[in-house]
Structure 1
């Protein structure tokens, strides 16, 4: 494995400015992850604010139950024992549950959390445990029900898990029948090329799916199989046991809701006034909380001193909503703006690992943390990678393509390569013929006006048709040239489909099991041993 730093500029301007330490962005965050003093300052605040969070022993007991079902590794048990101790800190980060874990960036986020916790522990000389926050309370099924793999004939294929109910329920609460799992597993088996690792890979997945009642269950078990040995603690935000612990936090969110709303709105205006785009909506009257009514997750708003949903299914006064919370905490969940507050109310968060979009929308929460008696943690950019397999690397070398060429100049470079194959100079000759034709024909058409004005328009139409026919022949000759060099074109196609599919970074499209089917697990173990430089934007990994 050869790991090379490479630029991959993506994300909002605000996220880029934060990563690069721009002064104008720094006022929207509490800490600068680039400063060595940030961790020490955050630790000092955490040590002084233990009473602002839930009892860590109760949280650890809850997490033991959950990880006992899905992530029962010795290293995880040790990490949970450490979490109970007052000196232990947490590096966390999370993602929605995804089919077969979703895109590769999910794997890189888990790896970043572990690496950041490891480095912080060495730097601070005190326990720091990694926690992955599974956003199982989210209800956007279409965002998580699919994944992509590249078939052996270079077709990008989408594997989709069908939902068996139309209710907009939390992903963790949607139960899946065995035939739903069978369908996506069969698709994966058909699409993955044969390899020495294929049978073991499919058996591992099949074993996990057979024990999973929901997408979140499978997601947790798959992450556990990859990262449990590193002590990665898993937390599902939709876990009913956890909800029972969170009652006091939700109560504070309801009681202080007007102030939180005003804070989010003021911060949103501040961000836009600075010239940045918002990555999350702050709406007038938004409660920034969800209520689950008859299994469906409904966003709450405030109207006429009541908490209601848009369609009028629920309506509570503030007092009635708190009473409902006391009886049914499992019916409440956070939105994107209150989730960071919940996270810091549960865990002693030293730092949180975020992607580009998350870094941008977290800027809206800094003042809300303070309203809640909390403080925004250190934001750690997720490590970003592009995997380059030996065949793709060979094609890039053959055509003298750099990674930056693939990102920014691919079509131009491919066209230039095709032009170089045109030994007859067909493009030039066709262009020459068309120019000569226009030079001879245009004056003739203009002279026709002396005979009859209607002939000019007819002549121009005729000229356009002849030029179209010549252009058609030019295109057909180019296609014939391409067919004669089909092998070379497939090499170009494999490069772009592998590194930048759908016009997006590889890590946002492909699934880890596609990589494992080709290379096994050794590459991931090697990646976990690589030192982490969180100031580096992106790496290419030559497998």
Structure 2
């Protein structure tokens, strides 16, 4: 099988900003606290230990115990929740939207990266405890981003209206979608397991937050994963001082704008608003806008004076929801967190926030790019071997792959580089001769060199085109293989739902992933199933 290893940089799927962050370029070092290496966690532990308000631990544990009541909880998860009471316990956190039936594969990779990092840290720092946290994005209101998943090239969409926070959304109506999905699964043992998992999560729970918690707990509870829904009055009470400062001072807007200037040569991931908080109810999540000393709720008739909105914050903190700028701060205030694990886009917006964290005196976490994975079957690996393709070839653009396969397959060299080099040397002699005669002769020689070089290049293109026609069957097998591994010419992990692989691999799938992923390495993991 192909044995080459693909780095994140060479995969072609990471932005210039992420490639430079991963390379620890000096121009970005002011935008993060510590780069995520095992050794750097020692300093992060000590800093967080001195900065975190341990009074928040009791609230955190109390909320988790309530959220887990009535749920079949593994001994390891119970142990981790209990451990959070102690000042020597820290969290590693990932966050994700409440995608229907987990959405694309990278939902799994985020959580496994988080679980595996806690294991590595415990081995390195045995005096401390490390708890993996999945922060459910229950307050998001962009339902269109999460109301579907893909299975074997088909999209299963939940047709429902939603305007408020998705975590509070009723699961009513999902039984119809389940019936369609169940028919596609078939009747194998693994198919029945998936049906049971879906129905117990979505048909036996009243809202999307509880359904998603059940799903994640079923998949990862035996690994000690702790799942948190931060859409909670008690947790938000701990955040009141920071929400108050945001309403009165707009600190985040000023601090993040300063940082975006340092990132002006890159694509800015998010732009701050003057107030980075939403007003939230069951069927409403809208921006808070300050106009002429009046706090208005966007797209509604609701408005508050300064005194009224501060009183509302004190009495009902659950009615205030952080946006993409403030959510990371909320997380780091309520959790004894050391590191956030996310995709490239998430890490890009976190890099905008360090200046803001410093201004409100909260420790900025380490930022780790989650594991990325390409899953391949043994059959696909054998196809790659037969075609003499490396993983690097398969990660390349399809036009480049076609050219590479054509050149590999051709019984004679298609590349005319040798001929072009000989031509160049011949013209070197002619140029020397021309320089000894008339200057106008130099121009004539140059024109002739350009003409003949172009002629060779055209012959090379025509030769390549002719060979492509000749080996069209081989090229079709190569492109079919690439299309299988990169559906819609995109990363598999962003397109395919885990159930497609569970159907074939069953309960071995997740243990295989857990044993294969190494969160602190910067390689695109290629796993054969």
Same fold by TM (over 0.5)? yes
Q: Please show how residues 290-301 of structure 1 align to structure 2 within 5 Å.
A: 290-292=278-280, 295-301=283-289
Q: CA deviation at 1:504?
A: 1.3
Residue by residue over 1:468-517, the C-alpha shift from the partner in whole angstroms, topping out at 9 and shown as x without a partner, is xxxxxxxxxx99x97xx6xx788556523431112211111111111101
User: Partner of 2:22 in structure 1?
Assistant: 19
**CA distance, structure 2, for counterparts of residue 419 and residue 22 of structure 1:** 37
**CA distance, structure 1, for counterparts of residue 4 and residue 182 of structure 2:** 32
Match of 1:517 among 499, 503, 506: 503
Describe the shift of the 1:94–1:201 C-alpha distance in structure 2 as closer, same or farther (beyond 3 A): same
Describe the shift of the 1:393–1:294 C-alpha distance in structure 2 as closer, same or farther (beyond 3 A): closer
Match of 2:148 among 146, 149, 165: 146
**CA distance, structure 1, for counterparts of residue 398 and residue 185 of structure 2:** 27
Residue by residue over 1:290-334, the C-alpha shift from the partner in whole angstroms, topping out at 9 and shown as x without a partner, is 002572100122221232244353322332211112232222111
**CA distance, structure 2, for counterparts of residue 502 and residue 111 of structure 1:** 25
Cα pair 2:148 2:155 within 8 Å, conserved: yes
Cα pair 1:195 1:518 within 8 Å, conserved: no
Secondary structure at the aligned position of 1:30 is classed as: coil
User: Partner of 1:528 in structure 2?
Assistant: 514
**CA distance, structure 2, for counterparts of residue 338 and residue 539 of structure 1:** 32
Q: Does 1:85 align with 2:86?
A: yes
User: Partner of 1:157 in structure 2?
Assistant: 154
Task: Report the aligned-residue RMSD.
Answer: 2.9
Describe the shift of the 1:190–1:405 C-alpha distance in structure 2 as closer, same or farther (beyond 3 A): farther
What stretches of structure 2 of length at least 5 have no aligned partner? 412-467
User: Partner of 2:388 in structure 1?
Assistant: 400
User: Partner of 2:196 in structure 1?
Assistant: 203
Cα pair 1:341 1:372 within 8 Å, conserved: no
Match of 2:225 among 221, 224, 232: 232
Q: Does 1:282 align with 2:272?
A: yes
Cα pair 1:71 1:220 within 8 Å, conserved: no
Q: Does 1:212 align with 2:213?
A: no
Q: Please show how residues 405-484 of structure 1 align to structure 2 within 5 Å.
A: 405-411=393-399, 413-414=401-402
User: Partner of 1:453 in structure 2?
Assistant: none
Residue by residue over 1:255-301, the C-alpha shift from the partner in whole angstroms, topping out at 9 and shown as x without a partner, is 4x4222211211122221xx122101124xx2000002572100122
**CA distance, structure 2, for counterparts of residue 261 and residue 420 of structure 1:** 55
**CA distance, structure 2, for counterparts of residue 321 and residue 288 of structure 1:** 15
Q: Does 1:191 align with 2:184?
A: yes
Cα pair 1:268 1:282 within 8 Å, conserved: no
Match of 1:269 among 261, 274, 278: 261
**CA distance, structure 1, for counterparts of residue 385 and residue 187 of structure 2:** 26
Describe the shift of the 1:539–1:231 C-alpha distance in structure 2 as closer, same or farther (beyond 3 A): same
Describe the shift of the 1:496–1:185 C-alpha distance in structure 2 as closer, same or farther (beyond 3 A): farther
User: Partner of 2:114 in structure 1?
Assistant: 113
Match of 1:39 among 41, 50, 70: 41
**CA distance, structure 2, for counterparts of residue 521 and residue 4 of structure 1:** 28
Cα pair 1:11 1:357 within 8 Å, conserved: no
Cα pair 2:168 2:207 within 8 Å, conserved: yes
User: Partner of 2:169 in structure 1?
Assistant: 174
- TM-score (structure 2 length as normaliser): 0.82
Cα pair 2:116 2:519 within 8 Å, conserved: no
Secondary structure at the aligned position of 1:540 is classed as: strand
Cα pair 2:102 2:497 within 8 Å, conserved: yes
Residue by residue over 1:438-460, the C-alpha shift from the partner in whole angstroms, topping out at 9 and shown as x without a partner, is xxxxxxxxxxxxxxxxxxxxxxx
Cα pair 1:392 1:494 within 8 Å, conserved: no
Cα pair 1:406 1:496 within 8 Å, conserved: yes
State which drifts further: 107-116 or 17-26.
Answer: 17-26
Q: Does 1:327 align with 2:322?
A: no
Q: Does 1:313 align with 2:298?
A: no
Describe the shift of the 1:88–1:108 C-alpha distance in structure 2 as closer, same or farther (beyond 3 A): same
Q: Please show how residues 240-389 of structure 1 align to structure 2 within 5 Å.
A: 240-255=233-248, 257-272=249-264, 275-283=265-273, 286-292=274-280, 295-389=283-377
Cα pair 1:385 1:507 within 8 Å, conserved: yes
What stretches of structure 1 of length at least 5 have no aligned partner? 151-155, 424-477
State which drifts further: 345-354 or 319-328.
Answer: 319-328
**CA distance, structure 1, for counterparts of residue 156 and residue 183 of structure 2:** 11
User: Partner of 1:76 in structure 2?
Assistant: 77
Q: Please show how residues 91-110 of structure 1 align to structure 2 within 5 Å.
A: 91-110=92-111
Q: CA deviation at 1:409?
A: 4.1
**CA distance, structure 2, for counterparts of residue 55 and residue 416 of structure 1:** 58
**CA distance, structure 2, for counterparts of residue 238 and residue 111 of structure 1:** 24
Cα pair 2:2 2:384 within 8 Å, conserved: no
State which drifts further: 168-177 or 308-317.
Answer: 308-317
Residue by residue over 1:404-445, the C-alpha shift from the partner in whole angstroms, topping out at 9 and shown as x without a partner, is 22221434545887999999xxxxxxxxxxxxxxxxxxxxxx
**CA distance, structure 1, for counterparts of residue 230 and residue 477 of structure 2:** 44
Secondary structure at the aligned position of 1:197 is classed as: helix
User: Partner of 1:537 in structure 2?
Assistant: 523
Q: How many residues align?
A: 470
**CA distance, structure 1, for counterparts of residue 400 and residue 44 of structure 2:** 49
User: Partner of 2:136 in structure 1?
Assistant: 134
